Structure 1
């Protein structure tokens, strides 16, 4: 689980034991692009050191969204341009300290005080390159496209397309190995974001957690999300009870309850 995998020429994926997080690296002729940075200053520093072993090129950083496990390690990569959807900055300003407090408590309850301590000592870095809709980064010999495909896992998800090899880094718009997370989600809009992702005709999709998947996997997950969206809509309109919604959902009860709260 824990290590780098080359999924295309100059495109690498790193799976982490912590939360089964998946980060990415795209290497061009003149620059490299780091996709997500881990959940605290220690994780970020370890990732930065590993990237530096793979390439001496200067790097840009892209944050797929503002959940702590994807972006609290960014300070280790400075100085560097830090790209994110324009909504990510506001989300971090409003929710970074809440995330820090909640997850520090969770790690202590798990008997992992060292992780809680690292999280408490982490400096949260705000993006300084805000993306409105789309942007391109010239890495030399190849271009990375940054795309906001609509609300889904959050209201500010950003995917990274590497068109010359057909790879898309989807962040948590796609989940492998666990149900999607709806804490900040838009359950009824998420399927449309995945339709737009599939319209890119990816050969390979890298989820925010888990191993890379193909387009067929994304289509199946979209079908599940479409079913959930219908269930959530019917529940919000009072057409079905909570018990019926839990029965009809394709996901476990805690996941479905979270999605229902996001559409109440």
Structure 2
């Protein structure tokens, strides 16, 4: 685990497990924690790392309701926890199934400790709404939370730090692997969401997984998403077979097949 300094008081926290990237923005009066990690043990380690940087009271934002971004929230309470309203609904409806799926996966991979930590984490709900924007005054610095469109999920929240030209994009941007398209994704709308990221004129974009990237990377990923969305639509209309779509895709076969299957389901 390591910190990356993006600007004065703006940090990304990198983790080997799942190539996860969390965030921290520090003002003069309070700080903002961006996602909380994979479980409460992980969250406590992250909280201690934040405390090594700043003693200021913290606010939390959850970018979306996938377990690796919210199961560490208990380590930061009491604190205001922001998210889009759908985030809490998805945690309530789907959080237990996510934990079961990944605990089984970890045990199959010979990682019973990680499985147990998942199963022991509380599925805590956000208590503040981002719909569609919230401006947070951290003291000498305003950070804007934005729900711009559907993409990786129907409730993705972007975190814009305008004075530092940094956007924390959650899993709407992914570095080191193709974007993860699941049954709760909106593949056809996703390119427009990345247009919204680019419209913020960032110098640095922080993905939910992988290293921070520049706008050229986001433009390329946006073009690839548009291509895969068009291929998935052609498969849905019977214009292409899955095999033909995979052959034409800019993504690896497994990622393309997953996107096509998720779009069709």
Q: TM-score range by the shorter chain?
A: over 0.9
Could you tell me which residue of structure 2 aligns to residue 118 of structure 1?
117
CA distance in 2, matches of 1:160, 1:209: 15
Q: How does 1:180-219 map to 2 (within 5 A)?
A: 180-183=179-182, 184-219=184-219
CA distance in 1, matches of 2:130, 2:11: 23
SS at match of 1:263: helix
Deviation at 1:234, TM superposition (A): 1.1
CA distance in 2, matches of 1:89, 1:248: 38
Could you tell me which residue of structure 2 aligns to residue 144 of structure 1?
143
Deviation at 1:248, TM superposition (A): 1.2
Matched, 1:229 2:240: no
SS at match of 1:154: coil
CA distance in 2, matches of 1:16, 1:220: 25
Deviation at 1:86, TM superposition (A): 1.4
**4+ runs deviating over 3 angstroms:** none
Could you tell me which residue of structure 2 aligns to residue 168 of structure 1?
167
Higher mean displacement: 134-143 or 248-257: 248-257
Q: Is the 8 A contact 1:186 1:262 kept in 2?
A: no
Could you tell me which residue of structure 2 aligns to residue 127 of structure 1?
126
Higher mean displacement: 194-203 or 248-257: 248-257
SS at match of 2:263: coil
Task: Point out where structure 1 has 5 or more consecutive residues left out of the alignment.
Answer: none
Could you tell me which residue of structure 1 aligns to residue 246 of structure 2?
246
State how many pairs are aligned: 263
CA distance in 1, matches of 2:148, 2:211: 22
Could you tell me which residue of structure 1 aligns to residue 12 of structure 2?
13
CA distance in 2, matches of 1:190, 1:257: 17
CA distance in 2, matches of 1:125, 1:116: 18
CA distance in 1, matches of 2:47, 2:32: 12
CA distance in 1, matches of 2:84, 2:173: 17
SS at match of 2:243: helix
CA distance in 1, matches of 2:87, 2:253: 29
CA distance in 2, matches of 1:173, 1:233: 20
CA distance in 1, matches of 2:197, 2:19: 22
Higher mean displacement: 59-68 or 249-258: 249-258
Cα offsets for 1:229-248 (capped at 9, x unmatched): 11111111111111111111
Q: Give the TM-score of the pair, scaled to structure 1.
A: 0.98
CA RMSD of aligned residues (A): 0.8
CA distance in 2, matches of 1:119, 1:212: 27
Task: Point out where structure 2 has 5 or more consecutive residues left out of the alignment.
Answer: none
CA distance in 1, matches of 2:138, 2:192: 29
Q: Is the 8 A contact 1:188 1:232 kept in 2?
A: no
Q: Give the TM-score of the pair, scaled to structure 2.
A: 0.98
Could you tell me which residue of structure 2 aligns to residue 82 of structure 1?
81
Q: Is the 8 A contact 1:188 1:229 kept in 2?
A: yes
Higher mean displacement: 234-243 or 30-39: 234-243
Q: How does 1:31-110 map to 2 (within 5 A)?
A: 31-110=30-109
CA distance in 2, matches of 1:226, 1:102: 29
Deviation at 1:262, TM superposition (A): 2.6
Q: Is the 8 A contact 1:87 1:156 kept in 2?
A: yes
SS at match of 2:163: coil
